[in-house]
Structure 1
């Protein structure tokens, strides 16, 4: 786990061209690593926030891709203080606030963590379903709350930190993956363990895990070695496995092949992308490859009726034909800005970046349409959009903000 944390620090320092560390690079090399300068947008659309609120700081040090969860006109969020909140989507008003996990603070072991290190806290965003909100923590806690009241239904513990949002299936199963490679199938009524799937991890990987998804009686997961695994929801048995991108290279850093972002499930197809530079469409029942494309991402994919959207590690945003992977358009003006998985808000594609900006691109052709800075903190988690078109994003320092659909 220490190596995973250090990798995040390594990547963030290199991505931002940190000026406080002297002598590492020439000024030209530093500039080449810095986020691209933002160009002026001609006739930008108006993007006004409906409301915002602060959930508490401390997330940036953890490198977590925290995101909100939306159910109808309610927003559910967790914070670094171990709390889960339900908010009104239209106003941001608190509907309930539950102290799900107790958090203590120990003395700082590293000088640049000035505020000390928290023991405990909620690390993965909440999962929703069957009238429950399920959240996971850094100490392996899993807590299920009533979605209407915030009252605790049950709690249990898995073997390691929970970095991904738990999956709540229609059949009442709770699927939780822990940071040590294990996946747990829990009974939705009481949290008791039904099955566990155990898989090893490579020596070095990008911090984070993609959330499980389900369909057709199978649970799909992306792994740090560049593979996709399909498990039977009934008993956790392996149904099939497919390698998306082999971990190739001379050292652990070059061999990073994590499938950590959102996968997408169509009628009969599963779409996934690896950090190592490969995207693939698979038959969802067997894992048989349908097509592949040499595009990678440390985030994930967004699926529409005719296309896939993805932001690659270089900061290019792509729209691809979902049937063939052919490029429909590419936007390269956001280079080296460490973009989130794209979200779709009406006629626009929205991505967050490492400097706290949200960018609106036209869905039709990818041209830049609007921009808004939330704060000077990275946006790591995928922005979420409600059925009514309200977009909600969270920064790495816990600033939550909501934007109505641009007119």
Structure 2
């Protein structure tokens, strides 16, 4: 088994550092790889390497499927497109390193970290260095790039002919998709102590919604950036330094008239979109994004439990504890099953109704951090060393 340090995202590394030295009694115990009797067989359809991946850096880089292609990138600046069916490479480019606005990380590589978004015949990706790149989806040709004044740690949102980015310094900025000119900006307050990472942006009813590092979820109008409301997911309770970290780093989910969000050291909440009123709250701690299917919300908690919750009431349907502390990705629904990948690169399939293990496949022992991507009957994964895999059920 790999050392546990290989499975930690930077968020958890930070928490461990803050906790200081611990006794043997406090040592994190990692669940062994479950031994199962699979009822579902999984196979790899094709694989390709995309640069050197993200290695052990914190990153939300994950592939995206659009225009019949899978787009993927590595931290250093390689961006590539592959045919979804055959896996044949369509194009590959390397975006230029422009240095960094941060003195401690200048000139090493492009530091791509925010994840890829697609729309309007373009793909967009941001970097820790503050660079924002817009490429033509058909050829990979650079359309424009701009240096922002903050780290871009989550996927941009493309809407209303705008590129909207959320930055580590608390800013949300909208740029004109045609030429990169700033349209509007919104500033949030950022606590002194937060997790490494920020929430992605979700669109609904003409607004974009996002988690905040102060335990809230907020929304602004896409047209002009005006704030509409903020709602408390997790209240500030004080206590020690670890207890004060209440970031909502997972990307909210919009469905119907509700927004669903979950925070670290806090709560899972359902919030009414129009008013910002909290409909219900339940005690869960998570920093990975959730997924929704039918009446169920699925999440991986900070301790590695996979949980199904009724979205109407917040009542727990089932909880799978067999992957505790195995550094799980966010869950996705794949061919009706709940899928996660752990720090050893093992794909786990669970029944969406009971949480029982039904399938298992080792993909790449370098491990995974990014959320898997589902498109039709294919699951796409990218490992920390850059291996892009297309998976299907036999």
Both proteins in one fold, TM over 0.5: yes
- Contact 1:316-1:334 at 8 Å conserved across structures: yes
- Contact 2:38-2:360 at 8 Å conserved across structures: no
Label 1:129 to 1:164 Cα distance change in 2 as closer, same or farther (>3 A).
same
For 2:289, the equivalent position in structure 1 comes to 300
Give 1:249 shift.
Answer: 3.5
For 1:187, the equivalent position in structure 2 comes to 176
Label 1:207 to 1:392 Cα distance change in 2 as closer, same or farther (>3 A).
same
3-state SS in 2 of match to 1:61:
coil
Q: Greater strand share, 1 or 2?
A: 2
1:1-400 alignment, distance < 5 Å:
8-11=12-15, 25-26=23-24, 29-30=26-27, 33-57=28-52, 59-102=54-97, 118-169=108-159, 171-386=160-375, 388-400=376-388
Unaligned runs of 5+ in 2: 1-8
CA–CA distance in structure 2, aligned partners of residues 396 and 384 of structure 1? 15
- Superposition RMSD in Å: 2.5
CA–CA distance in structure 2, aligned partners of residues 65 and 12 of structure 1? 20
CA–CA distance in structure 1, aligned partners of residues 346 and 98 of structure 2? 30
CA–CA distance in structure 1, aligned partners of residues 15 and 366 of structure 2? 15
Label 1:328 to 1:8 Cα distance change in 2 as closer, same or farther (>3 A).
closer
- Contact 2:346-2:361 at 8 Å conserved across structures: yes
CA–CA distance in structure 2, aligned partners of residues 7 and 343 of structure 1? 21
CA–CA distance in structure 2, aligned partners of residues 123 and 402 of structure 1? 22
TM-score, length basis structure 1: 0.88
Give 1:89 shift.
Answer: 1.3
Unaligned runs of 5+ in 1: 16-22, 111-115
- Contact 2:97-2:107 at 8 Å conserved across structures: no
Label 1:61 to 1:316 Cα distance change in 2 as closer, same or farther (>3 A).
closer
CA–CA distance in structure 2, aligned partners of residues 330 and 11 of structure 1? 24
CA–CA distance in structure 2, aligned partners of residues 6 and 341 of structure 1? 15
Give 1:65 shift.
Answer: 2.4
Give 1:128 shift.
Answer: 0.9
- Contact 1:101-1:122 at 8 Å conserved across structures: no
TM-score, length basis structure 2: 0.91
- Listed one character per residue, the Cα deviations across residues 335-379 of structure 1 (whole Å, up to 9, x for unaligned) are 111322110111210012222222111112110011222223332
- Listed one character per residue, the Cα deviations across residues 47-79 of structure 1 (whole Å, up to 9, x for unaligned) are 111112222336233211221111153111121
CA–CA distance in structure 2, aligned partners of residues 117 and 60 of structure 1? 18
